[in-house]
Structure 1
Amino acid sequence: MFLNETQRLALPRLAGFIPYHPDGEISVWDFMTRPRSYESARHCVHSNGIQTPINTVLAYVFLRNTWRALCLLHTRKQSWANWSCFIQALVGVITACVNLSSIFPGGTSCRINLWVCSFGITVSAICVDICLLVKAYAAQNRDRRLIWVCGLLMAPQLAVIWIVWVESIMLNTEKAACIFLFPAYLPWFRFGLDVAINLLFSAVFLYAVYSQYTRLGRKCWRKLGEGGVVFLFAVVLSNLVCALITATGLFGPLSEMFFLIDWVVTSTLLVRQHESIRSAFVSSQQEITRAQVCTKRQTFKRMQ
């Protein structure tokens, strides 16, 4: 939901610069247990009855992805991409658990929940960009200019944390549970960042596909499939679609949830992409081993 300048300036501030709302400084439990009418209580239960299962599902998905990423990390600890997958999923687990704690007595406040969530979304975006950068860097024969360009495009992601923490307001509501009111430019700012860097990655990956096709012909599709390029394109598409939906507010207040949807989708896709690469590598190693065994057998028969 958008926040206008009049609303922002009218609210009290923590430490002189962080706007806050009294209803955002309490947990979901404290907000729900306030004395209220039957109709008001029904709205509270309904809204939190939606958010709580969502957070539970997020916790499960991120926990599963964390375990899968940890297995990948165990096989190759030096990989930046594997570390990025692991950190992205682990931060997701922490975020979901923090949000779930708010429904219990003594849980975290709405403001803390959304601060953690915004931090996690930013970390997720940076981790995704690092994963894509690693692949693009390899596809471009380790062109260092790509690192500098991507670094410049990734740096403004940190501004999202500042906008959410300092320019937005968090509060519990009866009909929408814990929400935050943000400046109207935030979704478009995030959309601009996502479009810029994802168009760059798309161009790099498309050029890699074209190069493979001109060199190998139709055989390139199998090679690209083993490299998980399809998953990389899906990650880019997810970023662009979710950013566009959030920026345009296509689904009304629910549009904000697409930040989290993109986080879950990209985490799952990146882990799956790395698993496909590992599977392809293991299969190729097995084929090489079989070929070596066959060669040794033939050599042994000739010697006899």
Structure 2
Amino acid sequence: MVSMRGENSDEGDLRDASNNNSPLSESDRNNLLSHALELRPNSPEFQRALRGVMAQSCLYTILFWLFFGNAQRAARLILSIRRNGKSASISMYICLLQACVGIALSTFFFAATFSKAGLPCHLHIYHGVVGVVISSMCVHAVQLEKAYVVMGRSKPLLIAGALFILSAPTFIYSGIWLSHVDTSDNGICKVTHAAIHPWLKFIPDMLSNVVFSACFLHVVLRQHRRFGSDSWKQLRNDGFITMSVITLTNTVAALVAVSGQMNGGIVQWFYLLDWVVSNHLLIRQLEHMRDAFLLDEGRPAARTSGTENMLTQRYSMTGSRPTKSDANKNGSNRSSWFTLPVPLEHQTPRGW
């Protein structure tokens, strides 16, 4: 979809786009299919344009089914929690939202590609940049929630996480108002971004992933060293895999963008790959966190009530053992911001 070049390679185009005071230059003329139909049939240019349109439609279809699978898993996760009388955490709903936005965007792009009156390239890029930003904000929010709870609801950590989330829209400004887009001869949308553009996504994403994942893993490793149960081992492994793979996809997407040598519109495909992979990993981690609580020491899910789970969380945070009065006080309140997935006897009394 997008090619990435440094600011110096096309400074004139960037200045022209800025001087027109319009987001993204509209020199792309029309949408991809219309561009292909303007060419002489059976000409080499027509064949290249047609191959470009078909390749993008295939990739949009693959993305749709990947996001659809993620949305199904997130929905099943939420329903399984609610069927056991517990409230799903905000992270589960955020992962569902992230997948649904991916479904909507891939469907929208696929339909627009084959529509005679579809969107021109500059509006394709506009919607793509906004979708990538929404995905980044979802990832930041999920990682923040995990770190915030295990670190004892630290206010400084919450403020830092809010700053990461609020910084994400700067990527929209760079991707739209500091960019120039056009349609290549093979029907591919390509855009020239400012040199700072990939860093506005990479730096917040990398810092958020490393800081929040490190906070979560710090607690998990401490608990695993103390108790050595399979539950903590599963959480430890998932934490390392999630942090490492998301870091890898963020880095690859940034390197492709910064290289400035990539043509044919592959940069934004790497951003979309980063999106679908991070969504899959976060849902997978939440599934295993649920299973760790349900399966540790052979305890089935149905034996753990919502009240007991809330008391488990309180015990882990405050170090005070739950009492009968606590159960009576909280018995009617099912809501809890985050569900700790570990049985009470495996919590450490203090230090969380």
Shorter-chain TM band: 0.7 to 0.9
Is the contact made by 1:13 and 1:19 (CA closer than 8 Å) also made in structure 2? no
CA spacing shift, 1:287–1:142, aligned 2, 3 Å: same
Pairwise mapping of residues 159-178 of structure 1 onto structure 2 (< 5 A)? 159-175=170-186, 177-178=188-189
Counterpart of 1:245 in structure 2 is: 255
Counterpart of 2:309 in structure 1 is: none
C-alpha distance in 1 between matches for 2:15 and 2:302:
71
Residue aligned with 2:40, SS = coil
- Where does structure 1 lack aligned partners over 5 or more consecutive residues? 293-304
Counterpart of 2:62 in structure 1 is: 57
Shift of residue 86, structure 1, vs aligned partner: 0.8
* Pairing 1:6–2:28 present: no
Is the contact made by 1:47 and 1:174 (CA closer than 8 Å) also made in structure 2? no
Matched AA of 1:58: L
Matched AA of 1:147: L
Shift of residue 131, structure 1, vs aligned partner: 0.8
C-alpha distance in 2 between matches for 1:166 and 1:22:
14
Is the contact made by 2:230 and 2:296 (CA closer than 8 Å) also made in structure 1? no
Pick one of 65, 72, 75 that aligns with 1:67.
72
Residue aligned with 2:117, SS = coil
C-alpha distance in 2 between matches for 1:283 and 1:159:
43
C-alpha distance in 2 between matches for 1:19 and 1:116:
12
* Pairing 1:225–2:234 present: yes
Query: Normalized per residue, which structure has more helix?
Result: 1
Matched AA of 2:234: G
Shift of residue 122, structure 1, vs aligned partner: 0.4
Using CA pairs below 8 Å that are at least 6 residues apart, which structure has the higher relative contact order? 2
CA spacing shift, 1:213–1:131, aligned 2, 3 Å: same
* Pairing 1:126–2:137 present: yes
Shift of residue 83, structure 1, vs aligned partner: 1.3
Shift of residue 12, structure 1, vs aligned partner: 8.2
CA spacing shift, 1:261–1:276, aligned 2, 3 Å: same
Shift of residue 178, structure 1, vs aligned partner: 1.7
- Where does structure 2 lack aligned partners over 5 or more consecutive residues? 305-352
Counterpart of 1:114 in structure 2 is: 125
Is the contact made by 1:245 and 1:255 (CA closer than 8 Å) also made in structure 2? no
Shift of residue 234, structure 1, vs aligned partner: 4.0
Pairwise mapping of residues 1-304 of structure 1 onto structure 2 (< 5 A)? 1-2=4-5, 3=7, 4-11=10-17, 16-23=21-28, 25-36=29-40, 38-74=43-79, 75-76=81-82, 78-104=88-114, 105-175=116-186, 177-216=188-227, 219-220=228-229, 222-226=231-235, 228-234=238-244, 236-249=246-259, 252-253=262-263, 254-284=266-296, 287=299
Is the contact made by 1:245 and 1:251 (CA closer than 8 Å) also made in structure 2? no
> How big is each residue's C-alpha offset from its partner over 1:105-161, in whole Å with a ceiling of 9 and x where there is no partner?
222222222211111110001101111111111221221211101111221111111
> How big is each residue's C-alpha offset from its partner over 1:237-256, in whole Å with a ceiling of 9 and x where there is no partner?
24543344334338723344
Is the contact made by 2:137 and 2:165 (CA closer than 8 Å) also made in structure 1? yes
Aligned-CA RMSD value: 2.8
Percent identity for Structure 1 against Structure 2: 23
C-alpha distance in 2 between matches for 1:31 and 1:13:
26
Is the contact made by 2:242 and 2:285 (CA closer than 8 Å) also made in structure 1? yes
